[in-house]
Amino acid sequence: MWEKKKSMTKKVGEKPDLRIVILAGGSGTRFWPLSRRKKPKQYLSITGEKKLIEQTLDRVKGLVPYSKIYTVAVAWQTQRLKKLLPALPEKNFIVEPQARNTAPSVMLATACVYLDNPEAVIALLPADHYIREARLFRQKLAAAARAAYKFRKIVMFGIQPVSPATGYGYLHSLPNNFKTLHKEKFYSVAGFKEKPDLPTALDFIQSGEYYWNSGIFLWRVDVFEQSLRKYTPELFPAWLKILQALEKNDRQKLTKVFRELPAQSIDYALIEKVRGSLMARGDFGWSDLGSWSSLYQFVNRDENYNVFCSPLVSLDSKNCLVLNPGQLTALIGLEDVIVVNSRDALLVCRRESDQRVKELVEKLQKEKPEFT
């Protein structure tokens, strides 16, 4: 087994053996009532004809062969993923025993690749983001993979903030401390700050040294293992157990490890603790589609800046967002209102309050779970 790994390492040489891992197990609620427990955001077609998960795959097409693209999700989601992404080999659909936030998912996916090639580089992609410039994205991803391989660092993409958003994680990178590879600058990451308050977010923007954490990470799997041992030693035994379970194909053991792992994000569990990571600028038209307002740029708009993807008639209304397929929507005297109609539920929401959709869904989960 170790023999095999070494021979593969030699084959790839300086060009890394890049594997794409799509984190497809998300269960976001911010697009309620379109998104539901059994239909999370990655299965919605909100920015185009294809579902976000399909767009995520299309976006990396050509960068690596399908045999090197993986998804990671629980069983019921995997069933759906197999239907939506038939180009991927059966074995590349990595099945989590249960949903425990992203750290366990990422450890599992990284372990799967590790058993194939411990010097491979993983690019971890969220399944439900939007990226406008796919070609530029592929170029930057290729450069970042080389950097991750060569510099043996965790590499991440930071997004230049366009607003003092308080819902994001921020990366602090030093503008004069960078390495260049394939014309791409990789800045040293000096620290992280999750969900700052508004004054702090404003300071961040003014400083020019802070970037939104895009959730796109790259690492050599051996570097991931070393980082885990060094920065999160309490998780290292679980990592070894996952490797053992995979080698023996022991699902029961894997289930047990998952049950014992804390349900943490990989950001919190590992990435924010690692020193010396690198950041490239993700200037490829990124959006995490984190709220209804984020859709504003993707749909038709009329002369009053009402955006809509269904028939609309309006009087004295502007800056509204309307998704009401199959019906005519009429607006009178409204400004900055979001209207979304989906099956059994209708949402009408002030635009500036759209971050509260999550809170609404939590309320519904208690009071009327059939609508979540």
Residues within the interface to a copy of itself (CB under 8 A): 32-33, 311, 313, 315-316, 324, 326-334, 337, 339, 341, 344-350, 352-354, 356-357, 359-360, 363-364, 367-368, 371
> How far apart are the C-alpha atoms of 108 and 200, rounded to whole Å?
35
Q: Which residue has the tokens 């095999």?
A: 4
Give 273 or 356: the residue with its C-beta nearer to a copy of itself: 356
Give 61 or 343: the residue with its C-beta nearer to a copy of itself: 343
Residue 37 C-beta: closest distance to a copy of itself, Å:
15
Residue 44 C-beta: closest distance to a copy of itself, Å:
17
> Does residue 22 sit in helix, strand or coil?
strand
Give the closest residue to 353 by CA, choosing from 30, 41, 129, 42.
30
Give 32 or 204: the residue with its C-beta nearer to a copy of itself: 32
> How far apart are the C-alpha atoms of 82 and 71, rounded to whole Å?
9
Residue 289 C-beta: closest distance to a copy of itself, Å:
18
Residue 295 C-beta: closest distance to a copy of itself, Å:
16
- Are 228 and 154 within 8 A, CB to CB? no
Residue 324 C-beta: closest distance to a copy of itself, Å:
6
- Are 97 and 258 within 8 A, CB to CB? yes
Give 265 or 324: the residue with its C-beta nearer to a copy of itself: 324
Phi first, then psi: give them for residue 286, nearest 5 degrees: -90, 145
Provide the b/e sequence for 13-30 (b: ≥16 CB within 10 Å). eeebbbbbbbbbbbbbbb
Give 87 or 313: the residue with its C-beta nearer to a copy of itself: 313
Residue 366 C-beta: closest distance to a copy of itself, Å:
10
> How far apart are the C-alpha atoms of 193 and 211, rounded to whole Å?
10
Give 4 or 37: the residue with its C-beta nearer to a copy of itself: 37
- Are 166 and 198 within 8 A, CB to CB? yes
Give 198 or 346: the residue with its C-beta nearer to a copy of itself: 346
Give the closest residue to 4 by CA, choosing from 116, 122, 121.
116
Residue 372 C-beta: closest distance to a copy of itself, Å:
10
Which pair of structure tokens corresponds to residue 190? 């000096």
